[in-house]
Amino acid sequence: MKQEINRFEILNKITPLIENTAMRYNLIPIEIEFIKENHKWFLRIFLYSYEKDITLEDCENVTRSLNDFLDELIPVKYYLEVSSPGLERKFKSDKEFLIFKGRRISLKLKQALDGETEKIFKGEILDWDDNLGLRILRFDDGQELQIPKSNIQSAKLYID
């Protein structure tokens, strides 16, 4: 008999555990994904730190701390992958604009802003507000831009 899995229910159960475990190592899980690919379940956790680059040791510590607890909460066989988000990863949630505040990003808009022709900007995140959207300092001219959340197509960290 095939077992029905509600991945959102499982994510809701395991997310607080993952967040608390990461916090013990001074890390932030910026993305937690529980997904089925090619008939196999994967739990992927992407970690970030304000203070340092994520190391293999960080990933191992979080993995070891979580293993037994996750096995009790996840009723199917799964593969656990713990890593850093990588430099080229697109932002997947609004909270990443807050996490990466002060960092450089590359931003692609759905539509050009009034008086502009370009839809791609590079700049520094100044602030994020759920209602107002993103405030960015554009590199090429030092202009501050307010970009509505609804106009953001994609964003990722910008590395020189």
| pLDDT tens figures, 16-47 | 999 999 999 999 999 999 999 999 999 999 99
Whether residue 89 lies inside any domain: the answer is no
Domain edge (last residue) among 26, 53, 83: 83
User: Encoding tokens for residue 2?
Assistant: 């095939």
Q: Which of 83, 106, 122 is the last residue of a domain?
A: 83
Q: Give the mean model confidence (pLDDT) for residues 126-131.
A: 93
Q: Are residues 106 and 139 in the same domain?
A: yes
pTM assigned to the model: 0.78
The span from the CA of 67 to the CA of 84, in Å, is 18
- At 29 the pLDDT is 95
Report helix, strand or coil for 73: helix
pLDDT higher than threshold 50 for residue 1: no
Q: Which of 83, 106, 141 is the last residue of a domain?
A: 83
**Smallest Cα–Cα separation from 66: which of 26, 24, 30, 36?**
24
Query: In whole angstroms, how large is the CA radius of gyration of the chain?
Result: 18
| Structure confidence at residue 3 (pLDDT) | 64
Considering the domain boundaries, does residue 88 fall inside one? no
Asked whether 108 and 155 are in contact (CB, 8 A), the reply is: yes
